Amino acid sequence: MSEVGQGGVPVSTGVGAESLDAWAALLREQAPSAETAASLDDLKGEWLSPRGRVDALAVVERHLGWLQAKQVELLAAISDHAEGPPSADVPAPGVDMDAVFLGEWDCAVEEVACALKLANSTAAQRLETARLLTGRHPVTLGLLTDGEISYQQARIVAEQCAVLAVDVAGEVERALVERMPQQAAGQTRAAVRRQVHRVDPEGAEARHQERVRERKLLSYPQEDGMALFGAVLPAQRAAVMQQVVEAYAVGYGDDGRTLDQKRADALYDLVVHQQLGPGARESGSGCRAITTVVHVTVPLDVLMGLDDGPGELKGYGPVTAGQVREIAFAAGTVWRRLLVQPASGLLVKTDPLTYKPTAETARHVVARDQYCAFPSCRMPASRCDLDHVRAFDHVRPERGGPTTPENLQPLCRRHHRLKTHHPGWRVARDAHTGAAVWTAPTGHTYINTPPPVYRE
């Protein structure tokens, strides 16, 4: 028989499969702890029966909740000791917004994003969820610590109840806690939503009207040269749009395409080959003539069909040679030549000693870096400020940082202000590799390297 550790947990594997199955079943019923976590390495699939593997899987899942609860506590502590978040109030006329950011900057988001290799928005979400769980939902956090619910369920409670007063949020939590351990995340989301509507119907309507004002388009890259395109809009409008697309797709007839393929093609045709509308220029085909700009960077040999390497679609990433050629040889396409260093894949350029970059230099920096130069940020470079890494000297330009691509980097407005005004953040850029090395107030360093325009 094997040795036994704390809580009756075996510490060696010299037992039969039935005993290991019983051990996994026992662990499944116990609250996670440091002692039980130390034994997880012995829950190997080849030592367990099919039933025991399911129990072991549940044990690991409970420990994930336990660890995530510990991360929540750490995030809350980091947030408590960070500077306060920037004020949402509109500054009075004449007030310098940069000065407001300097005095109220919350650098916890950037530090967490860099340390965990997350997007800024994801880091901000985790910090806010941690604040809400530790400050308003200790019972839900306790369920997570015991591995009774998943982090996704805990986050749903925190986020959905954030719009409510503290006492009302507690009422919603109390109505849910008994059933949450038996629910999947989708069931918890639906239950929380119903409770929020029940306790605050007027607020639900007001929040809906606010969301209506925030309606927007979304586009996300997916694998194999595909992208997800859609919109956030009122549900009733989405239902109408779905019916219109469905009817249009049926009109294609039996041409060999699946219904899903027809639906996707119908949406494209309805948007791109739309009928004439207000303010449209009439084209020869009777459709609206709309000017669109799509940026693709591609080596000449790929463009000419001598090589089948990838190109770079701005805002997406690598695409196939076939996709590149489809765009490049479409009617009205404009080509611009860019020079690339063979070793690093970085663009090469020269320009004058003026503070504002020329249009050509700006295009070069945007094409080279593609995104904000802060490690955790994915703001497209075309929507960023062009920042001088070494400050430009307006009195004696030759003594300051030159307006050259080697000394320019795209920074979104938030990270431009952080770099310019926050005394704890510093950045240096390697002119040869393009790597930007950021130093945080804690002394940790984080590196951001722009993607090569073309990789072998």
Q: What is the mean pLDDT of residues 108-132?
A: 92
Mapped onto helix, strand or coil, the DSSP state of residue 235 is helix
Residues 182 and 312 in one domain: no
Residues 173 and 266 in one domain: no
Answer yes or no: is pLDDT of 319 > 50: yes
Answer yes or no: is pLDDT of 84 > 70: no
Taking all residues of the chain, what is their mean pLDDT, rounded to a whole number? 80
> Of 288, 312, 328, which residue constitutes the final position of a domain?
328
Residues 239 and 206 in one domain: no
> Is 126 within a domain?
yes
| pLDDT single digits (tens) 171-228 | 999 999 999 999 999 999 989 988 888 888 888 888 888 888 999 999 988 898 899 9
362 Cβ contact list (under 8 Å, min separation 6): 386
55-59, 368-372, 378-382: range with highest mean pLDDT: 55-59
Q: From residue 190, how far is each of 132, 153, 160, 193, 210 by CA, in Å? A: 20, 11, 10, 5, 21
DSSP state of 282: B
DSSP codes of every residue in 355-373: SSPPHHHHHHHHHHH-B-S
Nearest to 131 by CA among 95, 172, 89, 169: 169
Mapped onto helix, strand or coil, the DSSP state of residue 217 is strand
- CA–CA separation, 326 and 318 (whole Å): 14
Q: What is the mean pLDDT of residues 424-451?
A: 88
Task: Note the pLDDT of residue 105.
Answer: 59
For residues 419 and 107, is the Cβ–Cβ distance under 8 A?
no
Q: What is the mean pLDDT of residues 214-243?
A: 88
Q: What is the mean pLDDT of residues 87-115?
A: 63
Which residue range(s) make up the domain with 240? 235-272
- CA–CA separation, 165 and 161 (whole Å): 8
Residues 201 and 250 in one domain: no
Answer yes or no: is pLDDT of 97 > 80: no
Task: Note the pLDDT of residue 312.
Answer: 74
Q: What is the mean pLDDT of residues 89-94?
A: 52
Residues 371 and 411 in one domain: yes
- CA–CA separation, 353 and 155 (whole Å): 51
Nearest to 108 by CA among 134, 130, 91: 130
Tally of domains in the chain:
4
Task: Note the pLDDT of residue 198.
Answer: 84
> Is 339 within a domain?
no
> Is 333 within a domain?
no
Least confident of 32-36, 90-94, 280-284: 280-284
Q: What is the mean pLDDT of residues 64-92?
A: 76
Task: Give the pLDDT band (50/70/90) at residue 16.
Answer: low
For residues 318 and 310, is the Cβ–Cβ distance under 8 A?
yes
> Is 11 within a domain?
yes
Strands (E), 294-338: 296-297, 311-313, 317-319
Nearest to 195 by CA among 209, 179, 211: 179
Q: Which residue has the higher pLDDT, 37 or 401?
A: 37
Q: What is the mean pLDDT of residues 294-320?
A: 72
Residues 113 and 168 in one domain: yes
Mapped onto helix, strand or coil, the DSSP state of residue 428 is strand
Residues 62 and 189 in one domain: yes
Q: Which residue has the higher pLDDT, 340 or 367?
A: 367
DSSP codes of every residue in 120-137: HHHHHHHHHHHHHHHHH-
Token readout for 305 is 């069909």
Q: What is the mean pLDDT of residues 363-386?
A: 89
Task: Note the pLDDT of residue 80.
Answer: 78
Task: Note the pLDDT of residue 19.
Answer: 83
Residues 67 and 196 in one domain: yes
Nearest to 133 by CA among 87, 186, 65, 84: 65
Q: From residue 92, how far is each of 89, 98, 100 by CA, in Å? A: 9, 13, 11
> Of 310, 328, 346, which residue constitutes the final position of a domain?
328
Task: Note the pLDDT of residue 158.
Answer: 96
For residues 255 and 273, is the Cβ–Cβ distance under 8 A?
no
> Is 382 within a domain?
yes
- CA–CA separation, 450 and 384 (whole Å): 15
Least confident of 67-81, 146-160, 165-179, 421-435: 421-435
User: What distance lies between CA 44 and its chain's CA centroid?
Assistant: 34
Answer yes or no: is pLDDT of 350 > 80: no
Task: Note the pLDDT of residue 140.
Answer: 97
Is the dihedral angle over the CA atoms 367, 372, 376, 378 positive or is it negative? Answer: negative
Residues 420 and 308 in one domain: no
> Is 346 within a domain?
no
- CA–CA separation, 68 and 151 (whole Å): 7
> Is 277 within a domain?
no
Answer yes or no: is pLDDT of 87 > 80: no
Sheet (strand 426-429) strand order:
426-429, 436-439, 445-448
Task: Note the pLDDT of residue 145.
Answer: 96
> Is 429 within a domain?
yes
Relative orientation angle of helices 185-199 and 166-176, to the nearest 10 degrees? 130
- The alpha-helical segments, DSSP class H, found in 48-119 are 50-80, 97-104, 108-116
Residues 74 and 125 in one domain: yes
Percent of the chain topping pLDDT 70: 78
- CA–CA separation, 30 and 11 (whole Å): 16
Residues 60 and 204 in one domain: yes
DSSP state of 42: G
389 burial via Cβ count (<10 Å: 0-12, 13-18, 19+)? middle
Residue with tokens 């367990």: 48
Residues 16 and 161 in one domain: yes
Task: Note the pLDDT of residue 64.
Answer: 96
Q: What is the mean pLDDT of residues 386-404?
A: 80
Task: Note the pLDDT of residue 289.
Answer: 44
